[in-house]
Amino acid sequence: MIGHPTDQCKASGESHKPVESSSGREPLSGIDQSLVPGDVVERAMGVDAAVGLSDEEAERRLHRYGANRLAEAPQVPQWRKFIEQFRDPLVYLLLAATAISVVAWVIERANARPGAGGSEPVPYDALVIVLILVVNAILGYVQEAKAEQAVQALARMTAPQACVMRNGRMVRIETSDVVPGDVLVLAEGDSVCADGRLILSASLRVAEASLTGESVPVGKNPAFLSQAKALGDRTNMVFSGTSVTQGTGRAIVTATGMRTQVGKIADMLARGEDEAEGDGSRLEDSGDRRVPYCAGRACGARIDGGVPRHP
């Protein structure tokens, strides 16, 4: 039975000789940690779960693998983000169609006989195309804003501090200082700040709705699985961005920062936003490939009807 980690973190505890890892092993990568026993993960990560990392080893790993935080995109002014919505080949085509429509309207007005009706007071075709461009830009801007908010929400899911084993003692550290190989000490109410393989648990249940959509907290135990399972069914793993609703446990950190499952989601959101800017997918996905064709037909009709023909 594991004592309450939060209280133990506040106590000094008895020190144990730390395990010094000079081999510089990489964290388990390309391997489903849920399929291997906990002691195998422990050896592979170069850590004694009862003692944890030494301060020197933790510092070395922090320098090697980076801080445990999600990557932040450079701040871009809101006006520039809106202007970026117009950088698209299909938008350029629509702008060309607008220019043609305006030119056709000017020619029609210039060749109209005085007092003759039928001439449009304003270039309606050009206005419609401009309206399409503006609406498309607004939709793209809103879509990107929601993606950025989602990434920021993922970053806020991690607590500012975590309880880990260091030098044989339980200590509280900044979540950004958690490294692969750290031993997380989890208790009810804690937020999980990194992905990890459970090695001990007592009535542990974790809410993973933010990651898997599962509304009911998932029971966890350290037993390894006999076959690969979906993320929500890996009962011997804990993931960054989730929270402990019941029980206690300990887990060896296997991934931090952008290498966690929540980091991969953030990366997909960021890459999806960039691809949407570059390939005109907003227009394509909504069936707006027809827009340039319709705009071209409208401009053609304007030219055909606006330029006077002489018998």
Nearest in space to 38 (alpha carbons), one of 23, 48, 30: 48
In the prediction, which pLDDT does 234 show?
A: 95
Locate 217 and state its tokens.
């907290």
CATH, domain range 5-68+160-259? 2.70.150.10
- First vs last Cα of the chain: how many Å apart? 101
Phi, psi of 84 (to 5 degrees): -60, -20
Q: Is the pTM of this model over 0.75?
A: no
Cα separation of 129 and 298, whole Å? 10
In the prediction, which pLDDT does 154 show?
A: 65
pLDDT in tens, the chain (311 residues): 444 554 556 444 444 444 444 444 455 666 888 999 999 999 999 999 999 999 999 999 999 999 998 887 677 788 888 888 888 888 888 888 889 888 888 888 887 776 655 567 788 888 888 898 899 889 988 988 888 787 677 666 655 889 999 999 999 999 999 999 999 999 999 999 999 999 999 999 999 998 888 889 999 999 999 999 998 899 999 999 899 999 999 999 999 999 999 999 888 887 765 554 444 444 444 444 444 444 455 445 444 444 444 44
Cα separation of 104 and 115, whole Å? 20
In the prediction, which pLDDT does 163 show?
A: 95
In the prediction, which pLDDT does 273 show?
A: 55
Q: Tell me where in the chain the CATH 2.70.150.10 domain(s) lie.
A: 5-68+160-259
Say if residues 165 and 240 touch (Cβ distance below 8 Å).
no
